[in-house]
Structure 1
Amino acid sequence: MTFSICVREAYTGAEGKRHARFGVAVTTRLPGVGTICPFASGNGAVATQSLVNVDLGRRGIEYLDDGLAIGDALESLLNADDGRERRQLHGVDADGTFAFSGEECNDWYGHASGENYTVAGNLLTGESVVDAVAATYESDAFGDAPLAERLIDALEAGQDEGGDKREELPVQSAALKVATTEDREFEPYYDDLRVDATETPVVDLRETFEEARRGGEIVLERYDGEGGGDGENDD
């Protein structure tokens, strides 16, 4: 897999209470990355990549939901994984971060961590891809735009820096997930998006985000005051 970012943000909800939101976004020069790499819940976000072991992401989130700290959860899974040196695994929870890149991942590979985010990549054109993803997120962390949109900005910066070096593979994909501790009356349509097979994954993910946001605005306007703004289909 190529490169991904996991983030944690604290914010004040509509009712004035403090909440946390978690996000993960990824893109690669293979189809369907959204089915195997990004995982998120109201307790954290995890990305599993390189020679992917989907169970690391799925069980990682389950462990976070059970109350384990991110480091304890992901390290315990790696310790039980015979293929750990071919894995990349990283993520965030309410209190910390964790990032691991096995020594048998394909160059260029590596990861970076900040106070509230992790970034990792492999088979990249160089370290500058990961640096660009991190710097772009940091420059607008906690900004006014939705987290989903800012995650796309971060992916775009990595693509512009060179991204995945496998230019012979035209079919690509991208995905993002955002989860929050807030019990919202209306869940945005743009917090769980995938582009499964395209030659322009980040561009298409942004277009999908914009259309999902526009669709949500139309639904809210149509059902305002009618009790139908819960996101259910009205066929």
Structure 2
Amino acid sequence: MTFSLCVREPYQDADDSRQYRFGVAVTTRLPGVGALCPFVSEAGAVAVQSHVSETLGERTLSYLDDGLAIDDAVEALLNADDNRRNRQVHGVDTEGSVVFTGSQCNDHAGHRDTGQCTVAGNLLTDEAVLDATASTYESDAFGEAPLAERLVDALAAGIEAGGDKRESLSVGSAALKVVTTEEQGYRRFYNDLRVDASETPVADLRTTYEAALLGYEQSLDEYATADEIESLGPE
């Protein structure tokens, strides 16, 4: 698995109530990463990589949903994990963050933690990938663009800085997920996207995002004042 970022963005809604956006984005030089690595709910966001574990990701979210802090949740799960030396786990909840890189993760492996954003990667060209990913997100944190777009920007910066060092692997993948605690009238089509097999996965993720955003805007024009809006489903 390659590199990913998890993000927490608190904000005030129209009623001046505290809300949160949580997001995860990931890319790797293997197909299908969107089915394995990113996990997000209204309680937080987490990525599990290097040796992936859907169970570990799902149980972390379950603990967060039950009110456990993310650092306590990840610590408890890793303490019971015989394969923790090969894991990378990082993420955010409403209050804090956690980063963990196991001792057996393949170089270059490392992580960054800014408090509201965590970044981790392995099999990277060097640590510049982590720095570029984190700094690009931080430079436009809480920006006007949707979080999904800014997550793609951060992944693209990591690719530009070197990305995954396994150049012999030509087919990769990328994915993003965003969830908000604020009740939405209907689904944002651009908040859950995957490119499962591509030679340019992050570039294709951007193209997919732009198409999904266009579809969202067109749906507003078509359905926003009609009864059919209900068929678009909840966020």
The match for 2:148 is: 148
Aligned mates of 1:152, 1:224 — CA distance in 2 = 27
Aligned mates of 2:224, 2:81 — CA distance in 1 = 50
CA 10–170 in structure 1, closer or farther in 2 if over 3 Å, else same: same
Give, as a single letter, the amino acid of the residue that structure 2 aligns with 1:103.
S
The answer to whether structure 1 residue 165 and structure 2 residue 165 are counterparts is yes
Deviation at 1:56, TM superposition (A): 1.1
Matched-pair identity in %: 61
The match for 2:33 is: 33
**What secondary structure is seen at the aligned counterpart in 1 of 2:99?**
strand
Give, as a single letter, the amino acid of the residue that structure 2 aligns with 1:22.
F
Matches within 5 A, 1:66-215: 66-215=66-215
**What secondary structure is seen at the aligned counterpart in 2 of 1:4?**
strand
Deviation at 1:21, TM superposition (A): 0.8
**What secondary structure is seen at the aligned counterpart in 1 of 2:183?**
coil
Q: What value does the CA root-mean-square deviation take over the aligned residues?
A: 1.1
Contact map agreement 1:187 1:231 (CA 8 A) in 2: no
Deviation at 1:223, TM superposition (A): 1.2
Deviation at 1:224, TM superposition (A): 2.6
Give, as a single letter, the amino acid of the residue that structure 2 aligns with 1:187.
R
The match for 2:20 is: 20
Please list the CA deviations of residues 49-103 of structure 1 after superposition, one character each: whole Å capped at 9, or x if unmatched. Answer: 0011221111111110111100011111111100000000000000000000000
Q: Which runs of 5+ in 1 are unaligned?
A: none
Number of corresponding residues = 233
Please list the CA deviations of residues 165-212 of structure 1 after superposition, one character each: whole Å capped at 9, or x if unmatched. Answer: 000001100000001110111221011100000000011000110100
CA 43–12 in structure 1, closer or farther in 2 if over 3 Å, else same: same
Aligned mates of 2:75, 2:159 — CA distance in 1 = 29
Contact map agreement 2:19 2:180 (CA 8 A) in 1: yes
**What secondary structure is seen at the aligned counterpart in 2 of 1:195?**
strand
Give, as a single letter, the amino acid of the residue that structure 1 aligns with 2:135.
A
Contact map agreement 2:7 2:45 (CA 8 A) in 1: yes
Give, as a single letter, the amino acid of the residue that structure 1 aligns with 2:3.
F
Aligned mates of 1:177, 1:63 — CA distance in 2 = 19
Deviation at 1:231, TM superposition (A): 5.3
Contact map agreement 1:137 1:153 (CA 8 A) in 2: yes
**What secondary structure is seen at the aligned counterpart in 2 of 1:194?**
strand
**What secondary structure is seen at the aligned counterpart in 1 of 2:173?**
strand
TM-score (ref. length: structure 1): 0.97
**What secondary structure is seen at the aligned counterpart in 2 of 1:228?**
helix
Divergent runs of 4+, >6 A: none
Give, as a single letter, the amino acid of the residue that structure 2 aligns with 1:125.
T
Aligned mates of 2:160, 2:84 — CA distance in 1 = 30
Contact map agreement 1:107 1:122 (CA 8 A) in 2: yes
